Chain A
Amino acid sequence: MKKFHSTIEQCLFVVLTLLIRNISSAEITPDQIEFFETKIRPVLAQECYECHNSRDKAKSGLVLDYRDGLLKGGDTGLTVVPGKPDESILMEALRHEYDLEMPKAGVKLDPPIVENFEKWIAMGAPDPRDKPPTDDELAEDTNWESILETRKNWWSFQPIVKPESPSNVDAFLQAGLEEKGLKSAEPANKQTVTRRLYFTLTGLPPTPKELDQAKNETHEQTVDRLLASPHFGERWARHWMDWIRYAESHGSEGDPKIDNAFMYRDYLIRALNEDVKYDQLLREHVAGDLLEKPRLNTDLGINESMIATAHWRMVFHGFAPTDALDEKVRFTDDQINVFTKAFQGLTVSCARCHDHKFDAISQADYYAMFGILGSTRPGRKLIDLPEILEKNKVELAALKPKIRKALAEDWLAAVADAKVPAEIAKLEKNWEVEKKKIELHSALREGWETLEARKRWDLGETGDFHAWYRYGNGLPQKSAAAGEFTIATTGKNALDAILPSGAYSNLLSSKHAARLTSPEFSLEGKNQLYVLARGDGKAMVRYVVQNYPRSGTVFKVVSLGSVKKAKSNGGSSQPWKWHAFDLEFWDGDDVHIELSTARDAPLLTKPDVRSWFGIRKAMLVEKGTNIAANGIETEHLEVLAKAEGETINARFKNALTAAITRWGKNEVTDADALFLDFVVKQNVLPNNVGGLSKAAPIIENYRKLEEAIKSPTRVHGLDEWTARNQPLYDRGDHKKPLEDVPRRFLDAIDATPYQTDKSGRLELAADLLREDNPFTRRVIVNRIWHHVFGQGIVPTADNFGRMGEKPSHPELLDFLAVKFSDEFDWSFKKMVKYLVSTDAFQRGSTPSADAVTKDPNNQLLSHFSVKRLEAEVVRDALLVVAQKLDSKMYDSSVNGNAPRRSVYVEVIRNRLDPFLSVYDAPVPFSATGRRSETNVPAQSLTMLNNSFVVQAAQSFASATTEETDAGRIGQMWLTALGRNPSGSELNVASGFLDQLRNKTVEIATEQKKLDAQAVELQTRRNAILNPVREKLQAALAKENGKQEKKGPVDFGAIGHWDFAKGPEDQKGDADVEFVGNAKINGGALIVGDGGFGKTKPLTSDLKAKTLEIRIQLDDLDQRAGGAMTLQDLGGGAFDSIVYSERRPKRWMSGSSGFSRTNDFNGTDEKDVADQPVHLVIAYEANGTIRGYRNGTAYGRPYVAKNVQDYKKGASQILFGLRHGTGVSEGRALRGKIFEARLYDRALNESEIAALATGKRDFVSEKEVIDSLTDERQKELFDFETQIAQIQNDRKALGKGLTENDVWTNLAHSIFNLKEFIYVY
């Protein structure tokens, strides 16, 4: 019966459930449908469908895209219980009540949305979705347009609304406090507020003098004074540098420097000090190089706006990536990421692979911005004012025709006397053959000009010339015609070169800047690139793949000349040459050609002021196409081949006259120009300024004008080039490009494509600053607020999206945004002043008990938030208090040990400053609006032990001069903490001083005690060792005594040099001769300073051998000198005891070409500069080489692949020289050699140990210890441990303290006070 009953119940339940369901679907009212469609469906679609759908993904078995799925629930149970929100797992998940938090990895949905779900479930979860959706329906529900519309409701996407009231910051804050029933703290005292102001506005602590000054000022006066201080710019520039992840190197292997990055830092400091308006700075940051009216700084002679774009280049670059497009995508992503976070508070780069997960940012938005940046490329900007860049160009250009005319006249007059150059004269003998050769070359050249090339450019042609991109002030508006020439700017020569047609960077001056690049082209198949170019050794030509700016294994760079070759060429560079580049590797990539002078490549620069290049032609051909025999080697003789005349002399003169005449009229061909250039360089025509009566005065004038030209100042920036839209990459995969996305701004603001043939950066800047952009102003006023109050109104200063935190005072944020633009006209200083003038800024920092519980993060600002000083401020404060701060502004960055402000400390990615890092200076990786404020022991260790801090303490102590203890303590307090000590502090500090003074006496007593203990222990140790040693020695002496009577240790050396006795070989005939300054002095052979010793030829053959020497060096830092060498007489083959060659401070067995050298991996030498060291290298006949130092093995023996045979009469020993017959760089040793021996066999270990000690019956300590019982050994070990401990303790005691030490200690203690690093 019971069973039956329960079955009935079950049936009833099923029926009822069905009924409810049917009812709910059948009886959905229009109101309910509307509620579902407007309030529920969009949220389900946008937040849930991705993981819970009936198509491709149902996480935890849950499907939410139609009614039955929703009601069925997932693995964990019923998701929705109609009518019962509190029993529905969905509500738990939405409310984030337990571990299950939905949407996954998202933030909690807005409370009104959660409430809607509650209402909807309560009304029975009416749901019209009776079937799983079709693909189209699913797409419809989740399409971007509808998501965008919903997401645009997020607060930060809403327009900025100017609140009607209240009318000031404090009133807004007051309202917030009242709402929570909190009271604001009392105002802080003036001294506290002054210290706060100093740190906030200048980043430096106030000096006692400045505190005094402030005492007599109103708050406003102090604020105005500090805003006018140059330190304001230094302080606030550093904040800005955080926002754009300022760095001075690109990271990765090699970590190349970002040249002149500091100029951008200096730009920020100047701009902030001059209070350049924020909107202007923003325009400059985006497109400062394109502004119609840039901001010119006439004092410095620079275009400030131009510098701003350097931040775009502070990206990370990989090293020699084999996938160059991947690298380009990554560094462009870096730009987008930092830029959008810094200036819009948006994480646009999250939309690289898919539409943004949370915000109203589509994947297309991302690629729209990518297109803008992809239409630029890494470049160098010339920041000098136009008049400086153009200086004397017109004048110089005007002089050139005059010079040409005068020179032509001078030269025509000289033709008659011109000698035939040797290279031409020698053609006479075989003229017909030679002529044919020249003609053949001409034909070849014409041949390759019609050669099937995949790309071909002639830079002498107007069309090709204009198709290339020209940057810098050195490249002219049009291509150079044949016969163009360059003037030598110094020296006797008048002309530097006469040139064939092409493009040249130095037609007026080699100080001009130039970079010339071809259009981009795509590589398909196997290609080879040829570039016919010339230049100096600092200029270069390279191919650029996907705008990658570095060199590397597969990014070949060719330097256009070298000094050596230039000399033989009689000029300043290599001759014209086809530079070849194999591009097969880059099949499928986009590349272009780039020529640049020393300082004008986007990254690979050299410091030279003068540099130049020229290019005639370039071509891309199928790899393997032979253009080697291209005929350019006799191009300069073609004129000769065509000239009339019976003899070579006549032909030469005819050719010359004709060429000069044509040149004078500016009608030459390339062949003429090359011929003339050749002739001039042969000194056949006068090219000596003194010998040119007509041209000389004009050339002198030219030189003067050229001299006045300034080498341009270059800064990293972006260069415009082909503007093009970027294809969207499918799921961010750069190998899967889809449709192009027009260049435009964010869809949420305005998706109109930019109508421009440039990148669109100007338009982008305008969009940032348009009235209806809701981000720009909110973001910057929030950043300023953050740096004034320690926490932004939006705490996540770089993220105003849904994953960021919401504003604590949204209306206040808008109030400030409007005030910033409308009332303060985008003035930074006005905004800062406004904020530091509020009551909130001047409140005390002690929270009320209520505040601690109700507002623990002090978001409502009931009191001033205590904050740890930033890394830079801690370091700067140390310097100020120590009175060591070098207040020099601007210029190149310095190492962290230099006493300049931290904003000037270099930011090198692979070695960030350790002091600043430990205090949370950001890793330059992404925008950092809010630094972490960690609290770790490493900071305490730094403040306790770091030498920078120790030195600052010493300096601080000696800078305080008050005579009484109390006076000096007070002075220190005021200097370091900005206030006088309290009575109790004064007492405690005085007590501390006395304690320290007493310590000196204590230390002396303690030390005496320890010394006595140590002596005692040593005695006991010796008592164990000595008897055993004596016993062992006696036994050994007995053993040895059997073989021979007492005498010096001798193992049959064939050569023995004891320099206490003189240079003679004590054993054989190989006496030492002195070379150079070598001499015997004080019982030793003195080598170095050009002196070494060499012996007469040896009289034995040597294969196995041992070299032994006792030597002391002058210093440890010398490199690669030989102590003792066995070599053949020329030094071509040798084996040597060498110091510090491959590895510093290590001994090794040197050999000819390292052929028998390997690392012993012995220890670093520490002693040999202080005392003689005994070194032996033994060479066995099988190739084994063993090293010994002071009788014990040095490192590990190894087997050399070969053994050198030294023949008698043809080999010798050297002392103090690695090999050879004379001293040359890096082979000579500096030191004293006492004694040396040579053996014709490899000695064994014990023989060598005996040699080192000089005693045959020598017993080493190791042997003594080894022969002890375990028990005795342990005893001995205990003694040694105790002795070491005592030595440590003694060291730890330190020395007694001088009065100076006592004060330094107090100074250092003050640095360790928390108050020193916290502003309150």
Chain B
Amino acid sequence: MNANFTRRHFLQQTSAGFGAMALTGMMHRDLLGAGGKPPAKAKNVILCYMSGGVSQVDSFDPKPRLNAEHGKPMPMKVERTQFNNNGQILGSPFSFQKYGESGMEVSEIFEKTAEHADELAVIRSMTSSVNEHAQGNFLAHTGFPFLGHPTAGAWISHGLGSANENLPAYCVLQSGGAVSPHGGVGLFSNGFLPAQHQASILKADSPDPVSNIKPSQAKSLQRMRLDFVNQIDQQFSKSLGGNDKVDAAIKNYETAFNMQAAVPEVCDISGESEATKKLYGVGDSDSQVSAYGTQALLARRLVERGVRFIELSCLPQSKGAGQGANPWDQHGGLEMGHTAMAHQVDQPIAGLITDLKARGLLDQTLIVFTGEFGRTPFSQGSDGRDHNPFGFSVWMAGGGIKGGSVYGATDGYGYKVVDKPTTFFDLWATVLHQLGINHEDFTYRYAGRDVRLTDVHGHVLHDVLS
């Protein structure tokens, strides 16, 4: 074992705070790679995860043909669906309009987000290889359809570290009863990366936003205790002739102590102006809008404080099979369910874009909007849609993205991709690229392999970059 490995290994295993990786030069050779690294356009990522699967033909991929042929059979072979209860072509109950200079067509249910059409790059040719929620969620988050691999957030935390000593690099926000999508907290896992890269789940509306963050005793008492503990610890470390691991653990208590103040501070949005809150929908009479808006506002605050990767969580909805874990999952009652879900996130996301832009943060913040798959253009039962992994829409904004662009296409029915098929590997390759990381050189040695977020796949989607 050479000394270089030792040092790197030590750095990977030991941290004296969330920011330590960045400070100790995590941008090591692995990242630079032989191919050189792309210039960093963005510093942070906000993932708006639409758990359950948004219907592309009702949101960002208009298909007038569906309405024209409503009620007729699909004119092509229909693949296996998960519920095997396929009906006829189902027209979209929503109208589409052109927005912005780009004239991008967006559904009425996203009318507020659509006002930012010229900031969005909509990828209409996203695909997934699985059509079940848990596997789809794992695939969307990690590139692999099962538990055990690090998520994109964990990889990015590993690659960039946090720019803030007292906050984790990777946060998942929840509020208003939002729960983890199917697959559980494994969707926010560090996988085989060191544990500091797992997401901290931040309950945006809870007095105890991160588990164990609420001090178990008064601050002054705790300070006293830490001083006492530190004295004894120093003697212990000395008796071992100085031990890196023990010293790092000693330091971690100080970091933890500071985090107890830093986390509640960042979560406390009471100091934000009424106008800002309103922009995000915070305080809206619809508590779901308000709760999601709180997450979005908190995301901006985290971005300001150097947190790298933030995932927002949709709130539960019991409509058409959509539940806590997968609120967008309208196997029935699509119109009612998608209306309600879009309403929940539309104002907050639009507000987030406006606010980031106003503060000059949009350029350095990459917003990614995606679910695990799309929905079928034909009905399930009478008024629902089944899962469709063969072609669906996601979008990116900010962070060096070419706004107002539409990339790829599905067929006339919005069923399968016919132009520029795209995978989550491509999506994450692009995100890494914008963060200044060459995805092909960004590896971690695990179980005898140099593993990548993009496995052996992934192409940067240069067409959507400015």
Contact = CB atoms under 8 A, between A and B. Distances in A.
Interface of A: 99-100, 105, 251-253, 255, 316, 318-323, 330, 341, 347, 350, 358, 552-554, 585, 795-796, 798-799, 801-805, 845-847, 852, 856-857, 859, 866, 868, 909-912, 914, 917-918, 920, 923, 925-926, 932-942, 944-947, 950, 982, 984-985, 988-989, 992, 995-996, 999, 1003, 1142-1143, 1159, 1161-1163, 1193-1196, 1281, 1284, 1292-1294, 1297, 1305, 1308-1309, 1312-1315, 1317-1318, 1320
Contact of A341 (B191, B194, B222, B447): B447
Given A252-B135, A799-B447, A554 B13 contact: no
A319 B182 CA distance: 10
B194 A934 contact: yes
B196 interface: yes
Contact of B183 (A859, A910, A1143): A910
B261 to A, nearest CB: 10
B173 to A, nearest CB: 17
B1 A911 contact: no
A793 to B, nearest CB: 12
Contacts of A999: 220-221, 224
Given A909-B184, A1294-B218, A944 B253 contact: yes
A1320 B233 CA distance: 14
12 contacts: A252-B132, A252-B147, A319-B134, A909-B147, A938-B195, A938-B200, A940-B253, A942-B212, A944-B253, A982-B235, A1281-B270, A1309-B228
A253 B147 CA distance: 11
Given A988-B232, A1196-B285, A935 B245 contact: yes
Nearest to A932: B194
Interface string B175-214: 0000000111110010110111000100000000011111
A856 B189 CA distance: 31
Interface residues of B, number: 96
Contacts of A937: 17-18, 252, 255-256, 259
Interface string B116-144: 00000000000000111111000000000
A1163 B147 contact: no
B81 interface: yes
B195 A934 contact: yes
Nearest to A1186: B285
Given A799-B448, A934-B194, A937-B17, 17 more contacts: A252-B146, A252-B183, A253-B183, A319-B135, A322-B132, A552-B82, A866-B243, A910-B184, A934-B196, A941-B212, A944-B257, A946-B216, A992-B225, A1162-B287, A1195-B287, A1196-B284, A1281-B271
B184 A940 contact: no
Nearest to A923: B148
B32 interface: yes
Contacts of A847: 241
B259 A988 contact: no
Interface in B137-172: 145-148
B186 A936 contact: no
Contact of A318 (B84, B135, B216): B135
B65 interface: no
Contact of B252 (A926, A932, A935): A935
Interface string B1-41: 10100100000011101100000000001001110000000
Contacts of A938: 195-196, 200, 212, 256
Interface in B225-241: 225-226, 228-229, 231-233, 235-237, 239-241
Interface string B348-370: 00000000000000000000000
Contacts of B147: 251-252, 316, 909, 923, 925
B134 A321 contact: no
Contact of B447 (A798, A846, A910, A934): A798
B455 to A, nearest CB: 11
B411 to A, nearest CB: 20
B68 interface: no
Given A252-B134, A856-B6, A1312-B225, A100 B448 contact: no
Given A847-B241, A992-B224, A1313 B212 contact: no
B52 to A, nearest CB: 12
Contacts of B185: 910-912
A936 B184 contact: no
A1308 B225 contact: yes
Contacts of B463: none
Contact of B84 (A554, A805, A946, A1315): A554
B248 A935 contact: yes
Contact of A803 (B15, B133, B212, B448): B448
A12 B284 CA distance: 84
B287 A1163 contact: yes
B131 A918 contact: no
A939 B259 CA distance: 12
B183 A795 contact: no
A318 B136 CA distance: 10
Given A857-B6, A1294-B221, A1320-B240, A866 B246 contact: yes
B103 interface: no
Given A318-B134, A932-B13, A866 B240 contact: yes
Given A798-B447, A932-B13, A936-B252, A1305 B217 contact: yes
B231 A988 contact: yes
B443 interface: yes
B84 A553 contact: yes
B13 A934 contact: yes
Interface in B253-302: 253, 255-257, 259-260, 270-271, 284-289
Contact of A926 (B133, B148, B189): B148
A545 to B, nearest CB: 11
B449 interface: yes
Given A999-B221, A1314-B237, A932 B195 contact: yes
B219 interface: yes
B69 interface: no
Contacts of A1143: 318
Contacts of A321: 130, 132, 135
Contacts of A945: 212-216, 260
Contacts of A1320: 240
A1318 B246 contact: yes
B236 A347 contact: no
A925 B237 contact: no
Nearest to B284: A1196
